[in-house]
Amino acid sequence: MRRLFAAPAHCRPSRRTTEPPPPPSASPPLFPMLVPCEYRTRDPWWVQVPLSKSRLKSDLVAHNVPLPSDHSRKEVYVGLHAKHIDPKHGADFSSDEEEEARGGEDGQEDGPSGEDMQDITGLTDDELKASLLQHGVRTGPIVASTRAVYERRLQKLLQSYGPAETAANGVGDAAAYSDSEEEEEEDDEGDKEGKEEESGKARAAGRPGCWEPHSVRNAGNAVKSALEAGRPHAPSGLSAKFSVDEPPGLAAAVPTPVSTSDEGSGSSASSRSRSFSITRMVEEGSGRPTSRRPIKGAAGRPVQYKYPDVPPASPLTLERREVERRLVPFYIQLLVFLALACVLNLVFICMEDSWYNPLLPLLEGLSEVAGSEEGQTAGQTTADPVDLLAQDSLSG
Partner 1 sequence: MSSTSQKHKDFVAEPMGEKNVMSLAGIGEALGRRLEEKGFDKAYVVLGQFLVLKKDEELFRDWLKDTCGANSKQQGDCYGCLREWCDSFL
Question: Residue 329 and residue 317: Cα distance in Å, rounded?
Answer: 18
Tell me the closest approach of the beta carbon of residue 127 to partner 1, in angstroms: 19
Find out whether 254 and 284 touch, Cβ atoms under 8 Å.
yes
CA–CA distance, 229 with 275 (Å, rounded to integer): 14
Which one, 42 or 152, has the nearer CB to partner 1?
Answer: 152
Between residues 65 and 254, which has the closer beta carbon with respect to partner 1?
A: 65
Whole-angstrom distance, CA of residue 189 vs CA of residue 228? 10
Task: Using DSSP, state whether 10 is helix, strand or coil.
Answer: coil
Q: What is the DSSP letter of 199?
A: H
Helix (H, G, I), strand (E, B) or coil at 267: coil
Q: Which residue, 150 or 276, is less far from partner 1 as judged by CB?
A: 150
Q: Which is nearer to partner 1, 61 or 202 (CB)?
A: 61
Interaction pattern, residues 121-150, with partner 1; x per rule: CB under 8 A = ------------------xxx-x-xx-xxx
What is the per-residue binding string for partner 1 in 84-123, x denoting contact by CB under 8 A?
----------------------------------------
Q: Find the shortest distance in angstroms from Cβ 119 to partner 1.
A: 20
Kindly state the smallest distance separating residue 139's Cβ from partner 1, in Å.
Answer: 8
Q: Which residues pair with 276 in a beta bridge?
A: 242
Q: Identify the CA nearest to 122 among candidates 41, 1, 31, 219.
A: 1
| Minimum gap (Å) between residue 61 Cβ and partner 1 | 10
Q: With contacts defined by CB under 8 A, how many residues of the chain interact with partner 1?
A: 11
Site for partner 1 in 148-187 (CB under 8 A): 148-150, 152-153
Of 146 and 286, the one with the shorter C-beta distance to partner 1 is 146
Beta carbon nearer to partner 1, 152 or 320: 152
Considering beta carbons, is residue 101 or 132 the nearer one to partner 1? Answer: 132
Count the Cβ atoms, other than its own, within 10 Å of residue 220. Answer: 20
Long-range contacts at 275-283 (CB < 8 A, ≥ 24 apart): 275/241, 275/242, 275/243, 275/244, 276/241, 276/244, 276/246, 276/250, 277/241, 278/222, 278/225, 278/226, 278/229, 278/241, 278/242, 279/226, 280/254, 281/218, 281/222, 281/250, 282/219, 282/222, 282/223, 282/226
Q: Which is nearer to partner 1, 148 or 167 (CB)?
A: 148
Kindly state whether residue 76 participates in binding partner 1, applying the rule CB under 8 A.
no
CB of 77 to partner 1, least distance (A): 16
C-beta of 153: minimal distance to partner 1 in Å? 7
To partner 1, the closest distance from the beta carbon of 157 in angstroms equals 12
Q: At what angle do helices 2-9 and 95-105 cross, to 10 degrees?
A: 90
Q: How many residues does the chain have?
A: 396
- H or E, element range at 272: none
Residue 149 Cβ, how far from partner 1 at the closest point, in Å?
5
- Least Cβ distance, residue 146 to partner 1 (angstroms): 6
**Smaller CB distance to partner 1: residue 89 or 147?**
147
Tell me the Cα Rg of the chain.
Answer: 45
Give me the least distance between CB of 49 and partner 1, in Å please: 27
Question: Which of 103, 144, 133 minimizes the C-alpha distance to 5?
Answer: 103
Give residues 286-305 in contact with partner 1 (rule: CB under 8 A): none
143/390 with CB nearer partner 1: 143
Q: Which residues bind partner 1 (CB under 8 A)?
A: 139-141, 143, 145-146, 148-150, 152-153
